[in-house]
């Protein structure tokens, strides 16, 4: 029995080491913030802080990778979330959207946050400071409504 357990542990260790050699596909970061949502729309500081903490690792080109982000199989999970998150909505490319798309996105941001679908649950388990309180959800939601009205008036 003991031998079998040792054998399994050894096998797992070998698998763990081998998967580290699978080439990484992590999306690249880009420090250009000239089209960034929070910059171009001059978001208030509290909104900036909240969204950077809760959304920007997946929805911008400024993902902050923790050390374990480079360790498979965690890296594979992160890779997918970041890739998909940026594809759906990339705050670093905000200024390139037309007004109609911006308004639609703002309403979706409010909705996702209100319904607690965003930030993704799996993310807030590790990044506990990314979880939004009821008050913070209200703040983000109010800001998206206000910004949306502003864009509509222009
Ligand atoms: C851990 C990564 C991660 C974090 C953090 C995160 N998102 Fe997402 N987001 C995703 C992924 C992946 C998708 C696409 C798949 C889905 O809808 O579940 C998505 C989709 C969305 C969509 C598009 C929904 C649609 O139907 O088009 C919106 C809007 C959104 N997120 C807003 C936010 C906001 C706002 C925050 C911060 C409060 C946030 N997300 C935090 C990963 C993330």
* Predicted pLDDT of residue 65: 84
Specify the pLDDT at position 70: 87
pLDDT of 101 reads: 97
Cβ atoms of residues 113 and 135 within 8 Å:
no
Peptide bond into 94 cis (omega under 30): no
Domain boundaries defined on the chain: 27-153
Predicted local distance difference test score (pLDDT) of residue 72: 93
pLDDT computed for residue 69 by the predictor: 84
- What residues are in contact with ligand 1 under a 6 Å CB criterion? 54-55, 57-59, 81, 84-85, 88-89, 108-109, 112-113, 118-120, 123
pLDDT at residue 16, as a whole number? 96
Q: Exposed (0-12), middle (13-18) or buried (19+): which is 35, by Cβ within 10 Å?
A: middle
Residue 88 alpha carbon to ligand 1 centre in Å? 7
Residues in the chain with pLDDT values less than 50: none
Q: What is the pLDDT of residues 76-112, one digit of tens each?
A: 989 999 999 999 999 999 999 999 999 999 999 999 9
CA angle 34, 27, 53 (to 5 degrees): 60
Query: Which pLDDT score is estimated for 48?
Result: 98
Residue to mutate, 38, 85, 101, 133, ligand 1, most ligand atoms under 8 Å from C-beta? 85
pLDDT, residue 61, reads 98
pLDDT, position 154 = 83
Q: Global pTM?
A: 0.91
């Amino acid at each position: 029995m003991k031998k079998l357990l040792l054998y399994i542990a050894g096998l797992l260790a070998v698998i763990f080491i081998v998967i580290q050699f699978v080439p990484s596909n992590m999306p690249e970061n880009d420090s250009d913030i000239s089209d960034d949502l929070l910059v171009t729309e001059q978001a208030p500081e509290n909104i900036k802080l909240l969204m950077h903490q809760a959304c920007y690792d997946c929805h911008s080109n400024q993902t902050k990778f923790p050390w374990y982000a480079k360790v498979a199989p965690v890296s594979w999970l992160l890779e997918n979330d970041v890739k998909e998150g940026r594809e759906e909505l990339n705050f670093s490319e905000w200024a390139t959207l037309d007004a109609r798309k911006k308004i639609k996105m703002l309403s979706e941001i409010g909705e996702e946050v209100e319904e607690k679908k965003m930030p993704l649950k799996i993310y807030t388990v590790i990044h506990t400071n990314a979880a939004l309180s009821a008050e913070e959800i209200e703040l983000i939601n109010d800001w998206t409504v206000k910004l949306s009205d502003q864009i509509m008036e222009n």
